[in-house]
């Protein structure tokens, strides 16, 4: 539990950044709504983006390995670059497998995000708006557990849909927190 000074500091930070918090919340809510309306597209878009990020990272790591002195470090960096490149190609070539892996990763992130938001909500309590953060935390944890319980069969739709729900709930909680800051 936070003492009075830490809570006052946390509340002051929210007040100072309430405009940024509001606009970030609006952006999260819009992204969430779009992901909910287009869950299959959202799922494949996430897989596509991660695949290309891995490919680009792998190529950059491979080229950078040639700047490293020493045989061991050079081959280690080159191997890491090649593994990252191959993982990216695999995600793009096998999107159904990529969707399952990404779905599991998202589930883990949501569970940890919910745990963090729970702690933050109780740190903020009894300030106005702390309950919204707690509601978002509970939703994040439930969404993470729902994702895990539906693997692998429903990863085609589940990833995009549940990502949308999480972004929407996080966005709404940010909006409510920004509006409650006096």
Report, as an integer, the average pLDDT of 126-147. Answer: 87
pLDDT higher than 80, residue 115: yes
CA neighbor of 126 nearest in space, from 23, 41, 8: 8
pLDDT higher than 90, residue 17: no
CA neighbor of 149 nearest in space, from 182, 119, 107: 107
pTM: 0.61
CA distance 98 to 93: 9
Contacts 24+ apart (CB under 8 A), 2-8: 2/123, 6/123, 7/123, 7/124, 7/127
Q: Please report, for the chain, the start and end positions of each structural domain, with discontinuous segments joined by +.
A: 4-56+95-180
pLDDT digits (tens, 9 = 90+) for 154-169: 778 877 887 898 899 9
Q: Which residue has the higher pLDDT, 11 or 146?
A: 146
Lookup: tokens for 20:
């940024």
What confidence category does residue 113 fall into, taking pLDDT thresholds of 50, 70 and 90? Answer: very high
Torsion sign (Cα): 131, 133, 136, 140: negative
**What local confidence, expressed as pLDDT, does residue 37 receive?**
94
**What local confidence, expressed as pLDDT, does residue 3 receive?**
65
Cα dist. 80→34, 63, 126, 130 in Å?
A: 35, 11, 48, 43
What confidence category does residue 1 fall into, taking pLDDT thresholds of 50, 70 and 90? Answer: very low
pLDDT higher than 90, residue 84: yes
């Amino acid at each position: 539990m936070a003492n009075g000074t830490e809570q006052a500091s946390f509340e002051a930070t929210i007040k100072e950044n309430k405009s940024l918090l509001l606009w970030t919340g609006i952006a999260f809510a819009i992204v969430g709504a779009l992901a909910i309306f287009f869950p299959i597209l959202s799922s494949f878009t996430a897989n596509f983006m991660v695949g290309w990020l891995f490919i680009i990272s792998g190529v950059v790591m491979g080229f950078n390995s040639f700047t490293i002195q020493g045989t061991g470090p050079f081959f280690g960096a080159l191997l890491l670059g090649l593994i990252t490149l191959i993982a990216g190609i695999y995600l793009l070539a096998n999107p159904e497998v990529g969707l399952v892996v990404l779905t599991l990763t998202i589930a883990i992130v949501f569970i940890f995000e919910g745990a963090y938001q729970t702690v933050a909500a109780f740190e903020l309590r009894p300030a106005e708006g702390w309950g919204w953060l707690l509601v978002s935390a509970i939703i994040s944890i439930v969404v993470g557990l729902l994702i895990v319980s539906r693997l692998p069969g429903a990863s085609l739709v589940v990833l995009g849909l549940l990502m949308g729900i999480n972004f929407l709930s996080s966005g709404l909680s940010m909006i409510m927190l920004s509006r409650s800051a006096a």
